[in-house]
């Protein structure tokens, strides 16, 4: 379950990035996970609760945007999205090592609780 390590890394990065000022309560975290990143979105969701416990992110929601893998196919002269993780063009069956998308493992943003709710 390396997703727990990954979830803890997310919590640390966000805690570091938001520590400087009081932003109020963090409601949600948006991340991007590529098909070839080695991280399973479901497992990451599962790890989120234990990873955020007793941190400023406790109770926040994790939103994962899944990015399917894509290769550049020499034969088709085009970037093609892959149905899975085999680097084989689904159009012409040519193999290509040129991965264009799919390795993403990024934090995008956090959503803060609206001020009115925060104040109440």
Partner 1 sequence: MPPESPTPASDSAVAKPRILEVRTQILKKNDELARDLRDRFRAAGCFVVSLVSSPGTGKTEFLKQTLIRLQERGGLKIAALVGDLRTDNDAARLAESGVDVRQIETGTMCHLEADMVERAIEEASWDCDDLDLLFVENVGNLVCPSGFDLGEDLRLVLVSTTEGEDKPLKYPTIFNTADVAVITKMDLAEVLEYDAEKMQNSIQDVRPGMRAFEVSAKSGQGMDEWIQWLTDQAS
Q: Which residues are annotated as a binding site?
A: 2, 73, 76, 89, 92
| DSSP codes joined into one string, 53-99 | TTSTTTTPEEEEEEE--EEEETTTTEEEE-SSS--B-TTT--B---E
Phi-psi region of 77 (alpha: psi -120 to 50; beta: other; left: phi over 0): left
Q: Least distance from C-beta 103 to Zn ion, angstroms?
A: 20
Q: Which of residues 42-81 bind partner 1 (CB under 8 A)?
A: none
Angle between helices 2-18 and 41-52 (to 10 degrees): 60
Partner touching 49 among partner 1, Zn ion, none, CB below 5 to 8 Å by kind: none
Give yes or no for residue 23 binding partner 1 (CB under 8 A). Answer: yes
Give yes or no for residue 82 binding Zn ion (CB under 5 A). Answer: no
User: What is the binding site for partner 1 (CB under 8 A)?
Assistant: 1-2, 5-6, 9-10, 12-14, 17-18, 23, 27-28, 31, 36-39, 84-88, 95-97, 99, 105-117
């Amino acid at each position: 379950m390396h997703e727990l390590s990954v979830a803890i890394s997310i919590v640390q990065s966000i805690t570091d990035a938001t520590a400087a000022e009081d932003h109020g309560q963090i409601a949600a975290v948006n991340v991007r996970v590529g098909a070839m990143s080695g991280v399973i979105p479901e497992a990451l969701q599962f790890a989120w609760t234990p990873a955020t416990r007793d941190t400023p992110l406790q109770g926040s929601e994790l939103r994962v945007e899944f990015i399917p893998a894509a290769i550049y196919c020499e034969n088709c002269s085009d970037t093609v999205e892959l149905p899975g993780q085999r680097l084989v063009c689904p159009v012409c069956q040519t193999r290509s090592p040129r991965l264009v998308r799919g390795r993403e493992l990024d934090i995008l943003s956090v959503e803060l609780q609206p001020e009115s709710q925060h104040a109440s």
